[in-house]
């Protein structure tokens, strides 16, 4: 891992409040190129909100977020153009039910990027190939298993060639036997050099694939470190308690 | 005369059928013209209002809700009379055809707005988020992702409402629009026989059965299995 290269994602003093409830209380986080950063923490700790602030699905209350040194929050920044570089994968897949897998993957290519249908379908098929679902290109979401749907959702984000991928509990809505196929795809992305920020409770995957694990609680980063270190001997009692609860 | 021939004589008198068929057919044409005009403008306006409402500007939405509730609450006949006999007093003279078209369009728009709005609301927030996260702007998300799903859900209620409103073209008779019912009642008063009215009734059935069937076809055509 090279520390010299500038971070892909740099978050400084990020705050987010819903009404009077402060969900993020000053988050500082930098994700380096090709790094896979895992965020864990109890529900309500602000992990998902943190992720959703990165592409401004949630509007931050304060602080700054830069992707490749471009300020995502600046009024001069074209947020729609920025979002194409920030792939996002949701817990509930959010595939468009009225379109085939290929339609889902190519829609933004055609209507946002402006590719021709033929061009978009070439790109889309390549993306589906990467998640192992080119055979399902003509299937509708309802005809796919949860794991396949999530892989199509990953392909949809991948097709736009993002510089970073955000995963918001990508396997939480899946039956246990389908989790592996999604994690395998994420593993391949990691091996292919994708920069990833992942909110998940897949501890074994974190241990195997993550470069760094961050523990969040009450809107703050409590502790972070390489998975081996954090899982084996966390310093903070809150982290220890959370990990003990998970592995119980 | 036995009962059967009295019945035929009252509702299906041959000479009268021949005599009034041309005017009933003319009435059907007028009804079709108004109905088409009402459906196009009413649904377009309703969709436009629902899209504006989705923008969620509070004062604008309040206006839309007031308009929608008023036009859903008022009997269309009241509006037809109010506009036809009221507007000339402020110097606006609209032909009866135009009055009927405007009033029914506004009524259909009010109902269609509610139906489209319900459709838009029924599309999960995650669809918006998925689209926005791939770079779609607000309007593009609405056009390419939300409305195609919302419209599918609106087909059955919209068909019902459209049939209901277009049947209200019969209200044109009170302000002298020469549509089916107007032709039929004119024929009835001249002949003193209910045959022209029966012809009018049959004309409505002939016109609207295909519309109802089309609605049924669209319902199945647009249905898709949900994830």
At residue B182, the pLDDT reads: 95
CA B87/CA B100 separation, integer angstroms: 13
Which is more confidently placed, B159 or A91? A91
CA A143/CA A113 separation, integer angstroms: 28
Contact A61, A15 (CB under 8 A): yes
Contact A231, A240 (CB under 8 A): no
Q: Tens digits of per-residue pLDDT, A8-48? A: 999 999 999 999 999 999 999 999 999 999 999 999 899 99
Tokens representing A48? 């998902």
**How does DSSP classify residue B169?**
G
Residue B55 touches partner A, C-beta closer than 8 Å = no
**Distance, in angstroms, between B132 CA and closest chain A CA?**
7
| Range of weakest confidence among A116-125, B47-56, B179-188, B207-216 | B207-216
Q: 144-183 in B: which are within 8 Å (CB) of A?
A: 144-145, 148-149, 152
At residue B76, the pLDDT reads: 95
| Number of CB atoms found within 10 A of residue A245's CB | 9
Q: Tens digits of per-residue pLDDT, A165-198? A: 999 999 999 999 999 999 999 999 999 999 999 9
User: CB B134 to CB A108 under 8 A?
Assistant: yes
Contact A79, B133 (CB under 8 A): no
Q: Tens digits of per-residue pLDDT, A3-16? A: 568 999 999 999 99
User: Which of chain B's residues have a Cβ under 8 Å away from the Cβ of A88?
Assistant: 129-130, 133
Q: CA geometry: angle at B135 spanning B131 and B141, to 5°?
A: 40
User: CB B127 to CB A96 under 8 A?
Assistant: yes
Contact A17, A178 (CB under 8 A): no
CA A218/CA A25 separation, integer angstroms: 8
At residue B214, the pLDDT reads: 83
**Distance, in angstroms, between B224 CA and closest chain A CA?**
7
CA A129/CA B183 separation, integer angstroms: 66
| Range of weakest confidence among A52-56, B18-22, B189-193, B209-213 | B209-213
ipTM over 0.90 threshold? yes
Tokens representing A137? 């290109």
Of the candidates B129, B136, B148, the beta carbon closest to that of A98 is on B148
At residue B155, the pLDDT reads: 85
User: CB B134 to CB A149 under 8 A?
Assistant: no
At residue B203, the pLDDT reads: 96
User: Which of chain B's residues have a Cβ under 8 Å away from the Cβ of A83?
Assistant: 132-135
User: Which of chain A's residues have a Cβ under 8 Å away from the Cβ of B126?
Assistant: 90, 92, 94
Q: Tens digits of per-residue pLDDT, B149-188? A: 998 888 888 988 888 888 999 999 999 999 999 999 999 9
Tokens representing A3? 């520390």
Q: CA geometry: angle at B58 spanning B55 and B62, to 5°?
A: 105
Residue B130 to residues A96, A145, A167, Cα–Cα distance (Å): 9, 19, 12
**Distance, in angstroms, between B160 CA and closest chain A CA?**
24
At residue B224, the pLDDT reads: 55
User: CB A94 to CB B224 under 8 A?
Assistant: no
pLDDT at A228 over 60: yes
Residue A189 three-state SS: helix
Model pTM greater than 0.90?
Answer: no
Closest of B88, B108, B128, B86 to residue B40, by C-alpha: B108
At residue B227, the pLDDT reads: 37
Pairing of strands A196-199, A220-225: unpaired
Q: What percent of chain A has pLDDT over 70?
A: 98
User: Which of chain A's residues have a Cβ under 8 Å away from the Cβ of B135?
Assistant: 80-81, 83-84, 108, 112-113, 160
Q: Tens digits of per-residue pLDDT, A117-139? A: 999 999 999 999 999 999 999 99
Residue B68 to residues B45, B117, B130, B199, Cα–Cα distance (Å): 12, 11, 31, 35
At residue B159, the pLDDT reads: 86
End-to-end CA, chain A: 33
């Amino acid at each position: 891992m090279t520390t010299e290269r500038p971070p892909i994602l740099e978050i400084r003093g990020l705050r987010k409040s819903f009404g009077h409830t402060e969900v993020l209380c000053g988050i500082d986080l930098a994700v380096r190129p090709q790094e896979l950063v895992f965020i864990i923490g109890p529900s309500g700790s602000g992990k998902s909100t943190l992720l959703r602030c990165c592409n401004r699905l949630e509007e931050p209350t304060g602080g700054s977020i830069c992707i490749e040194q471009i300020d995502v929050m600046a009024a001069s920044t074209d947020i729609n153009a920025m979002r194409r570089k920030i792939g996002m994968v949701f817990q509930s897949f959010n595939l468009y039910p009225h379109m085939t897998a290929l339609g889902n993957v190519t829609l933004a290519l055609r209507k946002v990027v402006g590719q021709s249908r033929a061009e978009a379908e070439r790109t889309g098929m390549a993306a589906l190939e990467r998640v192992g679902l080119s055979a399902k290109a003509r299937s509708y979401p309802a005809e796919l298993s949860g794991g396949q749907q999530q892989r199509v959702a990953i392909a949809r984000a991948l097709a736009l060639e993002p510089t970073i991928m955000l995963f918001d509990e990508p396997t939480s809505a899946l039956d246990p036997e389908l989790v592996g196929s999604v994690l395998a795809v994420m593993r391949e992305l990691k091996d292919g050099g994708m920069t990833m920020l992942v909110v998940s409770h897949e501890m074994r995957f974190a241990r195997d694939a993550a470069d760094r694990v961050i523990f969040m609680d009450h809107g703050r980063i409590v502790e972070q470190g390489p998975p081996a270190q954090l899982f084996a001997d966390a310093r903070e009692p809150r982290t220890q308690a959370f990990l003990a609860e998970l592995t119980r | 005369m036995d009962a059967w021939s009295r019945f035929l004589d009252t509702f299906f008198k041959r000479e009268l059928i021949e005599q009034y068929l041309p005017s009933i057919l003319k009435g059907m044409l007028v009804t079709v013209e108004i109905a088409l005009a009402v459906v196009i403008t009413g649904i377009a306006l309703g969709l436009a209002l629902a899209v504006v409402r989705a923008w969620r500007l509070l004062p604008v939405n309040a206006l839309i809700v007031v308009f929608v509730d008023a036009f859903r609450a008022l009997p269309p006949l009241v509006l037809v009379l109010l506009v036809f006999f009221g507007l000339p007093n402020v110097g606006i003279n609209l032909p009866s055809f135009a009055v009927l078209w405007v009033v029914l369009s506004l009524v259909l728009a009010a109902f269609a707005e509610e139906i489209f709005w319900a459709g838009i609301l029924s599309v999960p927030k995650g669809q918006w988020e998925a689209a926005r996260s791939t770079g779609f702007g607000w309007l593009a998300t609405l056009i390419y992702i939300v409305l195609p799903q919302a419209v599918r859900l609106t087909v059955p209620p919209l068909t019902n409402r459209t049939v209901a409103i277009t049947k209200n073209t019969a209200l044109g008779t009170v302000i002298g629009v020469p549509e089916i019912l107007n032709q039929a009642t004119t024929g009835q008063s001249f002949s003193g026989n209910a045959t022209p009215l029966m012809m009018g009734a049959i004309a409505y059935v002939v016109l609207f059965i295909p519309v109802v069937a089309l609605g049924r076809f669209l319902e199945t055509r647009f249905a898709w299995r949900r994830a």
